[in-house]
A = this chain, B = another copy of it.
């Protein structure tokens, strides 16, 4: 007897995964990390009101979550000055990107992104047979001009840009993004990933109309709201596009506890303001640690700081591995020249102190290895 018959596309897909989780590394190391600073998680955690709402919702989890996400969408619509019909809630931005790609991208369809940008988006594009066209960053920034120029050549279904950017932490002004929207080709949709935008300087969120059919904006409770494990993302876009998600999404896919937590987090605007201060101070702390060690911290509009280790990818990899050996979980950009850097999440002082304590030794180990 043989196995099942996969689709030709599924049979051809590689078995690679976008990211290896820190728990996997801990199991391989047979030792826990002392500081979990690699996944752009927010160690300051969610609003205490969100924690209380989630704990209270645990006993009610025998009920399916509301498949319409009605209350959360209503609150989000108020917060964004749009209508609930402009919003779809899903299982994190990752889940929503999967649905979006499925709606638009079939085998052979062109998609434009930046080389080194979010790999999970690429995972979804490849998963539906799309063809990725990658343009280089301009220095540490994604390059709207290059993205638009490539789009003019290949007429893609989608252009992806993150603002602020991950993994470099850089940002464009919202005005720059809005100008980019005006130049998106007919029949192309701009995917604007604003996962970190609540932590960016004033004016970074693009002033685009929620009803603009040329762009869909992705937001999340994973970063500024500190709820990565709850898996709550949302997208803002034209009502026709938003309605199309209903054709394919896992309608009962949202965790009811997460729905309750996200609603409480959204309403706790005092905590959100406090969080911006906490993250800002933590960015300064990480920049100081980098500088103290003779490294260059890149300016960050996110809850992480990308640190230029001043050499090539092999050197940064050695620094990362030495940090791992010292029980500090960090990650690094995938492609050159960004892979000269390591990427470190903001977090409470205990984790910052652990990183500060481990970095000098990690640099010394990497330098010793590279001089051999």
Instruction: Please list the residues of chain A having a beta carbon within 8 angstroms of any beta carbon in chain B.
Output: 1-10, 13-15, 17-19, 21, 23-24, 27, 36, 39, 41-46, 51, 54-55, 57-68, 70, 91-92, 94-95, 98, 102-106, 109, 127, 157-158, 186-189, 213-214, 222, 226-231, 238, 240-241, 243-244, 246-248, 250-258, 261
Contact = CB atoms under 8 A, between A and B. Distances in A.
A63 B46 CA distance: 10
A58 B258 CA distance: 9
A255 B229 contact: yes
Contact of A256 (B157, B229, B254): B229
Closest CB pairs A-B (n = 8): A229-B256, A54-B58, A4-B189, A55-B55, A23-B66, A255-B255, A61-B229, A13-B247
A64 B228 contact: yes
B248 A10 contact: yes
A257 to B, nearest CB: 5
A221 B158 CA distance: 37
B244 A5 contact: no
Contacts of A61: 45-46, 51, 54, 226-230, 261
B58 A92 contact: no
B231 A254 contact: yes
A241 B10 CA distance: 11
B229 A257 contact: yes
Contacts of A228: 61-64
A103 B64 CA distance: 26
A178 to B, nearest CB: 14
Contact of A67 (B2, B21, B63, B102): B21
A6 B252 CA distance: 24
B67 A250 contact: no
Contacts of A9: 106
Q: Which of A24, A67, A240 has the most CB of B within 10 A?
A: A67
7 contacts: A6-B244, A7-B109, A17-B246, A54-B54, A62-B229, A92-B250, A92-B253
B257 A54 contact: yes
Contacts of A58: 51, 54-55, 58, 257, 261
A17 B257 contact: no
B68 A23 contact: yes
A59 B66 contact: no
B10 A104 contact: yes
A68 to B, nearest CB: 6
B255 A2 contact: no
Nearest to A222: B64
B257 A2 contact: no
Kindly name the residue among A7, A68, A187 whose own CB sees the greatest number of chain B CB atoms within 10 A: A7
A252 B14 contact: no
A244 B55 contact: no
Contacts of A59: 45-46, 51
A92 to B, nearest CB: 7
